[in-house]
Structure 1
Amino acid sequence: MAWCAACDWNVDPGEPEEPDGRLEALRRRLARQHGERLLAEVTTDEPPRPRRDAASVLALALALAVHGVTAALFVGGLLLVVLGRGGAFPVLGALCLFIAWLLRPRFPRLPEDEQVLHRADAPELFALIDEIAGTVGTTGVHAVAVNGETNASVSTYGLRRRRLLTIGLGLWEMLTTDQRIALLGHELGHYANGDTRQGMVLGNALHSLDTWRYLLSRIERPTLPEVLLNALYLVPRSVVVGVAAALDHLTLRATQRGEYLADSFAARCGSTEAAVGLMDGLLVSGSAAATLLRESNAPRSHRAGGRAAGEADSGLWDRLAAHAESIPASEYERQRRRSALRGHSVDSTHPPTHLRRARLLAGAALPATVTVDSARGAALRAELSGARDRVARRIMNGG
């Protein structure tokens, strides 16, 4: 990207629009003030610790109230069906039971469209995850999903809430070994941190509110009876939207604080230098995503470049790594300035990356507590080779 380091021309060619109205301007100003206070707080609280503040307690109370409505619908519907003596009561009870079933707690399953590895498939990888988890102060994971995203995440699946780590090769393949350790430390840190939105109570409450919004959504181009239905939905829909916004706002501070805490775990596991390098990788992850998209959209004849299709597919990650190596230092600087110009988003669950990076550099430089020698690195690469090839083939085939 061509830009001017002296005057910041073209630093952010896709800069967001100016706030529309006083309310939006106020929301952005409050987001900036909140972000600045949180940064000062976590900088003085080193390492930052998760806190149960008044906002977290209120968020939990709201979530329990949402689940209370679901329970009331279930119990009320059951009573209407069982005790109702004809008329509309059993029908109304059945409707309440149906809505309660739609609002029931959900337990995600393992992803079916990703490469899922278990301990027997990649013992060295799981041993590394266990070592990092021990450093962080938590336990390891039950499964690792591998996809082509330029991201990584942790979640749970199943009724027993088993742990799932998702590794996006679009980010993983750009990083050095130490930076990958920092990435794993960051993600596993979310388990140790106890992020609120990952919890069963709050997570399912947000899902229930989304379901309510769908059920009460406004009917477009309504007939006359539907106009009356829209009017009937107006008040409950407003209540649902208000509760969802309040729950989102109340958990936002804890979620952003959790990112700073996870960054501290990243530095502890892989070193401060590696954690800073990870932040730089996140800054240019959009460039990596664009590279993978170009590879996916290229015609097969041009894509292979005279080589066999399988050879072209297997070389995808080497080409991505070469692209990452070719990114000049000026582009990293532009991305940092772009992040600073955009500042704190109103509804982002992550603090601005440039602030996360600056906070890591402001503290004492930490050495790596988890290291990988060349033999272990080769074993890790061998264990991921099958998933790397399958994900590359899917990307190259436009999947």
Structure 2
Amino acid sequence: MDPGEPEERPGRLEGLRRSLARRHGEALLAEVSADGDPRPRRDTAAVLAYAVALAIHGATIALLGTGVLLVILGWGTALPVVGVILLLLAWLLRPRFGRLPDDAPVLHRAEAPQLFALVDEIASVVGTTGVHAIALTTDVNASVTTYGARRRRLLTIGLGLWEITTPQQRIALLGHELGHYANGDTRQGLVIANALQSLATWRYLMRPISHPTVPEMALNVLYLLPYGAAQGLLMLLDQLTMRAKQRAEYLADAAAARAGSSEAAVALMDRLLVTDSAETLLLRMSNVGQVIRAQDAERREPWRDLWDQLAAHVDSIPEHEYERQRRVGILRGHSVDSTHPPTHLRRACLLARPAVAAAVVTDDERQHALDTELAPPRARLARQVLAR
């Protein structure tokens, strides 16, 4: 049933995440499946999470203010040196606003009007607005985020996942990702996301030195308290936001069903079960591509049918393999990805709800227009896979 290698023992933080995920998993599934009001909730845990996050940002602001004062008022002493150190630390802990990727094709509205029109239509169905840019990668995944100080929206589509799904499943996929905007996923918000990042930076800076010398042992003792504080606050924020994070995934799945239909959303869940197989094939094709390129790349152009080969490979996976993967998911539970409910629970939640028809559909003409817009980045990324 599950011939994979046993996982390494998780660290303390990941162990807590998995424990929390198991604790909330089945109860949250029952709650979301029976909930007549699927909107996100602001409960006590969410309020406390924001309070902790604001306190963390307050500490960064205090470092900045103290550093400025020491630099300005401490001339003639060693205080300006301490002030500069505090300013550098505050700079490392500053909020990040994200940016557009520089290693992947990025499409804007003028370059892909049909794709953006489809995204706008799906966004309207799930209760939000469209995006400002769409990045394309080779990943077997998709995601949404923001970039810049103005918090513009970025949708990232991995062709490794896009190419192995049907047009209706792609609508469900876009509905799921845009659903994160509509549902206000707290861990992706500016306040909590940057607080988590600041704590991760604190933990990195204060982590114990491995195999220390005698002076380094003293430094480890000095770092013990701040490292423990950063670790403890990270675990606290995880505990306060884990249930909301998993609930956001269920709500995004409901958005996927509204946009693309319950049938397409469930089929998308099945596709997610075999993403490892798709990733393995891309890696194998990359290795083969290096050999071909060394022999006769100019004439053969092996990148031309790369995505078609990937789609054909996934289409050839028999139904019993999907069933095996579902049973493996039940056995492993939340051990693979603690921030998302297991795929089999998400699938069960979709099946437990009344089936809904697609609010957005595409015809052959629209699909051809979308394929035409994606053709240049599709070719570029196929070459990139074989050039790795």
TM-score interval, normalised by the smaller of the two chains: over 0.9
Cα shift readout 1:46-91 (whole Å, capped 9, x = no counterpart): 4522011111111111111110110111111111111124222111
The counterpart of 1:108, out of the listed 85, 98, 117, is 98
The counterpart of 1:368, out of the listed 358, 361, 364, is 358
Q: After TM superposition, what 4+ stretches of structure 1 lie above 4 angstroms from structure 2? A: 17-21, 23-30, 299-310
The counterpart of 2:244, out of the listed 234, 254, 258, is 254
Report how far residue 16 of structure 1 moved: 3.7
Question: Are 1:334 and 2:298 matched, yes or no?
Answer: no
Superposition pairs for residues 307-318 of structure 1, below 5 Å?
A: 311-318=301-308
Question: Are 1:245 and 2:231 matched, yes or no?
Answer: no
Report how far residue 306 of structure 1 moved: 8.4
CA contact under 8 A between 1:150 and 1:169: conserved in structure 2?
yes
Which residue is equivalent to 2:215?
225
Superposition pairs for residues 68-217 of structure 1, below 5 Å?
A: 68-217=58-207
The counterpart of 1:280, out of the listed 251, 270, 280, is 270
Share of identical aligned residues, percent?
A: 64
Question: Are 1:355 and 2:350 matched, yes or no?
Answer: no
Residue 254 of structure 2 aligns to a residue in which SS? helix
Cα shift readout 1:310-359 (whole Å, capped 9, x = no counterpart): 64201001101110110000000010001011012396111010111111
CA contact under 8 A between 1:145 and 1:164: conserved in structure 2?
yes
TM-score, length of structure 2 as denominator length: 0.94
Distance in 1, matches of 2:10 and 2:156, equals 37
Distance in 2, matches of 1:282 and 1:227, equals 47
CA contact under 8 A between 1:313 and 1:393: conserved in structure 2?
yes
Report how far residue 207 of structure 1 moved: 1.1
Report how far residue 220 of structure 1 moved: 2.5
Cα 1:15–1:87 shift into 2, 3 Å: same
Report how far residue 17 of structure 1 moved: 5.2
Report how far residue 98 of structure 1 moved: 1.2
CA contact under 8 A between 1:252 and 1:347: conserved in structure 2?
no
Residue 315 of structure 1 aligns to a residue in which SS? helix
Cα 1:198–1:221 shift into 2, 3 Å: same
Residue 264 of structure 2 aligns to a residue in which SS? helix
Look up the equivalent residue of 2:366 and give its one-letter code. R
Cα 1:17–1:176 shift into 2, 3 Å: closer
CA contact under 8 A between 1:107 and 1:157: conserved in structure 2?
yes
Report how far residue 305 of structure 1 moved: 11
TM-score, length of structure 1 as denominator length: 0.92
Distance in 1, matches of 2:336 and 2:344, equals 17
Which residue is equivalent to 1:4?
none
Distance in 2, matches of 1:192 and 1:315, equals 36
The counterpart of 1:67, out of the listed 47, 50, 57, is 57
Residue 155 of structure 1 aligns to a residue in which SS? strand
Look up the equivalent residue of 1:33 and give its one-letter code. R
Distance in 1, matches of 2:27 and 2:97, equals 35
Residue 244 of structure 2 aligns to a residue in which SS? helix
The counterpart of 1:35, out of the listed 25, 30, 34, is 25
Cα shift readout 1:3-61 (whole Å, capped 9, x = no counterpart): xxxxxxxx11116459799x999986653231111111101114522011111111111
Segment of structure 1 superposing worse, 30-39 or 238-247:
30-39
Which residue is equivalent to 1:294?
284
Residue 153 of structure 1 aligns to a residue in which SS? strand
Cα 1:220–1:25 shift into 2, 3 Å: closer
Report how far residue 214 of structure 1 moved: 1.6
Look up the equivalent residue of 1:154 and give its one-letter code. V
Cα 1:397–1:378 shift into 2, 3 Å: same
Distance in 1, matches of 2:336 and 2:305, equals 40
CA contact under 8 A between 1:15 and 1:342: conserved in structure 2?
no
Look up the equivalent residue of 2:81 and give its one-letter code. V
Distance in 2, matches of 1:155 and 1:222, equals 40
CA contact under 8 A between 2:289 and 2:387: conserved in structure 1?
no
Which residue is equivalent to 2:380?
390
Residue 298 of structure 1 aligns to a residue in which SS? helix
Residue 154 of structure 1 aligns to a residue in which SS? strand
Cα 1:25–1:289 shift into 2, 3 Å: closer
CA contact under 8 A between 2:176 and 2:255: conserved in structure 1?
yes
Distance in 1, matches of 2:254 and 2:300, equals 41
5+ unaligned residues in a row in structure 1: which ranges? 1-10
CA RMSD of aligned residues (A): 2.4
Segment of structure 1 superposing worse, 120-129 or 37-46:
37-46
CA contact under 8 A between 1:59 and 1:251: conserved in structure 2?
yes
CA contact under 8 A between 2:109 and 2:133: conserved in structure 1?
yes
